[in-house]
Amino acid sequence: NAGVMQNPRHLVRRRGQEARLRCSPMKGHSHVYWYRQLPEEGLKFMVYLQKENIIDESGMPKERFSAEFPKEGPSILRIQQVVRGDSAAYFCASSPLGLNTGELFFGEGSRLTVL
């Protein structure tokens, strides 16, 4: 029973390039959440998605960041024209029934380094 799978685990990009981070939720989970952890900081909520729907994107920066969770395939967090401040660990979590159940299952994270 595979857990939440994130790839790549490590990604290096130069300023101005695009970063794509992928997340496959646990089997049977249809709710996906993206969090960002900046150095020396806690986990910051970015976006909550269900299949083909964005439920809450209140934590997403207004520009350059987008997320999707298509009917088929993994959820994608896309960062366009990356800047050094985007360097962080990006964690994806999933849950079976949405936030009412409380517990989130996290992946191991994708560490983005912007040179």
Partner 1 sequence: DQQVKQNSPSLSVQEGRISILNCDYTNSMFDYFLWYKKYPAEGPTFLISISSIKDKNEDGRFTVFLNKSAKHLSLHIVPSQPGDSAVYFCAASVVGNQFYFGTGTSLTVIP
Per CB under 8 A, the segment of 14-22, 24-32, 54-62, 73-81 that binds partner 1 is 54-62
Least separation in angstroms between CB 44 and partner 1? 7
Interface with partner 1 includes 45 (CB under 8 A)? Answer: yes
Nearest to 112 by CA among 80, 81, 84: 84
Among 25, 35, 69, 114, binds partner 1 (CB under 8 A): 35
Least separation in angstroms between CB 64 and partner 1? 21
User: Are the beta carbons of 64 and 16 closer than 8 angstroms?
Assistant: no
User: Are the beta carbons of 26 and 103 closer than 8 angstroms?
Assistant: no
Phi, psi (rounded to 5 degrees) for 79? -120, 115
Question: What's the CA gap between 73 and 75, in Å, rounded?
Answer: 7
Interface with partner 1 includes 109 (CB under 8 A)? Answer: yes
Interface with partner 1 includes 103 (CB under 8 A)? Answer: yes
Least separation in angstroms between CB 54 and partner 1? 13
